[in-house]
C-alpha cells in the first residue's frame, strides 16, 4: 500500500481523511495519518530496505462499531495492524483510536 492508496481507501470507505492535519476545521468522525518513525534495514552505511510506519488516528464523538469495522476490514483488511485502546481527549471532547501499520 502507498500513502495515495491509503487516501483512496479512506475516502472510498466514506471517511474524511488528511495526512498530517486538515487545512480547515473538520468535525469528527475523521481519519488522520502520520508517519511515526522509520524502520530501515541498513548495512555498510546504506539503507537496503525501508518501511514507513503509519499511525492512523480515528477521531469520533460517539462509538460507532460499523465505522471501526470499515477501517479494520475495508481500509486495513489486507495488511497487519495494531490499535490502541479508546482514549477520551478531554480538551477536544472527542474519542480517539490509533491504528499502527507499515507501508
Express each pLDDT in 7-57 by its tens digit: 999 999 999 999 999 999 999 999 999 998 776 677 788 877 667 899 999
Q: What is the pLDDT of residue 85?
A: 93
Any idea what DSSP says for residue 41?
A: E
Among residues 31, 13, 11, 12, the alpha carbon closest in space to that of 22 is found at 31
pTM summary value: 0.87
Domain spans of the chain, in order of start:
3-102
Express each pLDDT in 90-101 by its tens digit: 999 999 999 999
CATH of 3-102, picked from 3.30.200.20, 3.30.2000.30, 3.10.110.10, 3.20.20.70, is 3.30.2000.30
Amino acid at each position: 500500500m502507498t500513502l495515495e492508496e491509503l487516501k483512496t481507501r479512506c475516502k472510498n470507505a466514506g471517511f474524511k481523511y488528511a495526512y498530517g492535519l486538515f487545512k480547515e476545521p473538520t468535525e469528527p468522525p475523521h481519519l488522520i495519518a502520520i508517519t511515526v518513525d522509520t524502520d530501515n534495514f541498513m548495512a555498510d552505511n546504506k539503507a537496503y530496505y525501508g518501511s514507513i510506519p503509519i499511525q492512523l488516528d480515528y477521531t469520533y464523538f460517539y462509538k460507532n462499531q460499523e465505522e471501526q469495522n470499515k477501517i479494520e476490514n475495508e481500509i486495513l483488511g489486507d495488511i497487519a495492524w495494531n490499535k490502541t485502546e479508546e482514549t477520551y481527549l478531554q480538551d477536544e471532547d472527542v474519542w480517539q483510536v490509533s491504528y499502527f501499520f507499515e507501508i
